[in-house]
Amino acid sequence: MLVTAIEAKPLRSLDRVRVELAPGIVSVIGPNGTGKTNLVEALYFALTGRSFRTSDRRDLIPFGGSLARAEATIRDEDGIERKLLASVSRSEGRRHLLDGSPADPAAIARSRPPVAVFAPDRLTLVKGPPAERRAHLDGFLAARWPARGELRKRFGQAVAQRNALLSRLAAGYGSPEDLRIWDAGMAAAAAPLVEARAEAVAELAQPFAAAAAELGLEKAALEYAPRAAGAAEEIQAGLEERREQDIRLGRSSWGPHLDELKLNSGERSLRRFGSQGQQRAALLALLFAEREALLAARRVTPLLLLDDVMSELDPGRRERLVARLDDGGQVLITAADEEQVPAAARKTVVPMPPPQTEGDGA
Ligand SMILES: Nc1ncnc2c1ncn2[C@@H]1O[C@H](COP(=O)(O)OP(=O)(O)O)[C@@H](O)[C@H]1O
Ligand SMILES: [Mg+2]
């Protein structure tokens, strides 16, 4: 599956800006402030309906405007082209259309490649709280095993139900006996999620360490630290043990909603002790490991978006990074200067289109 074009119409600083993409590595070059990150965001938005920079999609609306839209053209293995259009409007909320019609998220997910993004402000994935890493890991396992895509949501609903009862019990209403059913529900949803996360990390650990080493980060390790593990019955027993404490707290104090995905260098947590450069290498290595796992498993080519990554790497590491990408998958690289992009990534170089001014294209 290939993305053949992206168009911002409009999105942030970009209006009627269209960029054609080729297979393999495409490098988009333009000075700072010309909207490269906005273009990457437009592509991500068109494909996923979300932004990787903000949880409030209205930030994508141009200053003074009322609507943001981005459209991606995707060509599948049979050469059939489809269009994904995401929009957010102040008055009408958001939409995600496949070939002009509303489609359910599963149909949209099937019609597009999995997508991963590196951007400088995404370092929060490494240095931020565990919740982001859990969400990221769950996103990977949904791409890796589509049939497991609902596990996260199902578990989230089960915890919410148990917590709702706990908070009523904490307030002195209801009977603790009623917890049984929610303990069972939460445990039943937890067990397959924990199992999938463990399998995902087992698959990623080796390629993660290898990619990190190539980027100069020695002894890097990816480790899944589940709170609860085992079969549903064991997890349910664990919940029962913590019942009194949970009733006092009014929430579930134990379970996969508190799991951690540890990124370490040797024994040390990169989140707590890593330098900026090490954290960046770890994030890149994680994305590479995921890409490798997806390529190996499903032979779908995940789309990798690398925003402004070259400026932060020395020339040797730039070369090694590009060598790692030269495996058939589609990659979009942005850089301020073509000189920063190794020759192997200059097969397709696209200048960042200048911003359209009032009256252009009329
Ligand atoms: N909602 C918005 N509406 C209009 N312009 C915006 C919006 N958000 C950001 N910008 C502008 O986009 C420009 C930066 O674009 P960006 O994609 O970060 O550039 P680059 O990545 O090429 O350095 C800035 O001038 C910024 O003010
Ligand atoms: Mg930028």
Q: What is the CATH number of the domain that holds 41?
A: 3.40.50.300
Q: What is the pLDDT of residue 357?
A: 57
Alpha carbon distance 107, 94 (integer Å): 17
Which tokens belong to 192?
A: 């397959």
Flag whether 274 is in a domain: no
CA 296 to chain centre: 19
Is pLDDT of 64 > 90? yes
- Ligand number, closest to the Cα atom of 30: 1
Flag whether 205 is in a domain: no
Alpha carbon distance 4, 80 (integer Å): 11
- Ligand number, closest to the Cα atom of 122: 2
Distances (CA, A) of 99 to 11, 49, 86, 110, 244: 20, 14, 11, 13, 53
Distance 49 CA to ligand 1 centre (A): 19
Flag whether 69 is in a domain: yes
The residue whose CA has the least distance to atom 12 of ligand 1 is: 13
Is pLDDT of 186 > 80? yes
- Per the CB < 8 A criterion, the answer to whether 134 and 259 are in contact is yes
Any atom of ligand 1 within 6 Å of the Cβ of 10: no
Flag whether 280 is in a domain: no
**Amino acid making up residue 201:** V
pLDDT one-digit tens code per residue, 72-124: 999 998 999 999 999 999 999 999 999 999 999 889 988 999 899 999 889 99
Distance 210 CA to ligand 1 centre (A): 35
Find, among 241, 243, 261, 264, the residue nearest to 252 by Cα: 243
Any atom of ligand 1 within 6 Å of the Cβ of 62: yes
Which tokens belong to 176?
A: 């603790």
Flag whether 48 is in a domain: yes
pTM above 0.85, yes or no: yes
Instruction: Look at the chain and report how many structural domains it folds into.
Output: 1
Alpha carbon distance 129, 281 (integer Å): 18
Flag whether 216 is in a domain: no
The residue whose CA has the least distance to atom 17 of ligand 1 is: 35
pLDDT one-digit tens code per residue, 232-270: 999 999 999 999 999 999 999 999 999 999 999 999 999
Q: What is the pLDDT of residue 130?
A: 97
Alpha carbon distance 193, 258 (integer Å): 12
pLDDT category at 354 given cuts 50, 70, 90 is confident
Alpha carbon distance 162, 351 (integer Å): 53
Flag whether 35 is in a domain: yes
What residue numbers bound the domain in which 18 lies? 1-113+301-362
Flag whether 42 is in a domain: yes
- Ligand number, closest to the Cα atom of 59: 1
